[in-house]
Structure 1
Amino acid sequence: MGVGVSRLEVIEGPSGRRRRTKAERARIAAESMMPGVTVTEVARKHGTTRWQIYDWRKQIRKGNLMLPENLAALPFFAELVVDDRAAAASAVVTSCDLEILVGDVVIRAGSGADEGQLTRAIRAARAAAS
């Protein structure tokens, strides 16, 4: 008594699994780090999961994924908070002209720090905080 297949349905088209280039992954992860944007919004927009984006962000921090040059040059801004007590205390420190607070991280820069150095420091602090 042989039991055979009476009907076989072949489904064609994408399997739901997308293959993304490293540049695409880095671009999506960078988009999720922009101010005012949530990882959930970016994941929905690009048809991926939040966990995948968090993994790509971790790969960027580790250096396994590199941001495209056009994105790496974009400034990432952090909220500036001025605290009068901190301003009075920093008057004692002569080598620090600027102090930037990103989450729990304090970035202190002298007058010789250029925009590129500050941008990289702020990005690193934001990536570490997420």
Structure 2
Amino acid sequence: MGVHLDGSMGVGVSRLEVIEGPSGRRRRTKAERARIAAESMMPGVTVADVARKHGTTRWQIYDWRKQLRNGNLVVPESVAALPVFAELVVDDSSAAASARSDLEIVVGDVVICAGAGANEGQLTRAIRAARAATS
């Protein structure tokens, strides 16, 4: 028994069409995987939303996050240099702390105290220096 595509019963196949396109499996570079994993770790972002956005599965992103934590993936410098915002917590329990500074930023073991006159550039440089010192 033979298979005939677009041909008569006695001749065989006279035309075969090959349709190319995505096979469903993507090859991503290590930089892409690291960037997607880092994106999924941002505050307020869900892994499911990131997976849907990039056409991947949640379990793949969880695996990439694990590789990122273990050092098998490295976030590209262009992504690592982007500012990351931390959650702001206001603690009214200590009046002495507010007398020292208007703002305290904690980066790892480093506490950055800033007055009301500190501008964005100064704070950015201080945070980058603290990150560099703790890494």
TM bucket by the smaller chain?
Answer: 0.5 to 0.7
Asked if the contact 2:35–2:76 (Cα under 8 Å) also holds between the matched residues in 1, the reply is yes
Q: 1:52 aligns with which of 60, 74, 79?
A: 60
Structure whose alpha-carbon radius of gyration is higher: 2
Distance (whole Å) between structure 2 residues aligned to residue 56 and residue 28 of structure 1: 8
- Runs of 4+ in structure 1 displaced over 6 angstroms? 7-11
Task: Flag structure 1 segments of 5+ consecutive residues without an equivalent.
Answer: 92-96, 101-105, 125-130
Change (3 A) 1:54 1:118: farther
Q: Structure 1, residues 21-80: CA drift from partner, whole Å, max 9, x if none?
A: 001101111222223322111111111011111111111111111111110011211211
Please list, as runs of the form range in 1=range in 2, the aligned pairs for 1:9-48 lying within 5 A after superposition: 12-48=20-56
Identity %: 66
Give the number of equivalent residue pairs: 109
Task: Flag structure 2 segments of 5+ consecutive residues without an equivalent.
Answer: 6-15, 114-124
Distance (whole Å) between structure 1 residues aligned to residue 21 and residue 4 of structure 2: 20
Please list, as runs of the form range in 1=range in 2, the aligned pairs for 1:50-89 lying within 5 A after superposition: 50-85=58-93, 87=94
Q: Is 2:127 aligned against 1:115? A: yes
Distance (whole Å) between structure 1 residues aligned to residue 105 and residue 127 of structure 2: 14
Asked if the contact 2:38–2:65 (Cα under 8 Å) also holds between the matched residues in 1, the reply is yes
What is aligned with 2:118? none
Q: CA RMSD in A?
A: 3.8
Larger relative contact order (Cα-Cα within 8 Å, sequence gap ≥ 6): 1
TM-score, length of structure 1 as denominator length: 0.62
- The SS at the match of 1:84 is coil
Distance (whole Å) between structure 2 residues aligned to residue 6 and residue 24 of structure 1: 43
TM-score, length of structure 2 as denominator length: 0.60
Please list, as runs of the form range in 1=range in 2, the aligned pairs for 1:97-112 lying within 5 A after superposition: 98=104, 100=106, 107-111=108-112
Asked if the contact 1:32–1:38 (Cα under 8 Å) also holds between the matched residues in 2, the reply is yes
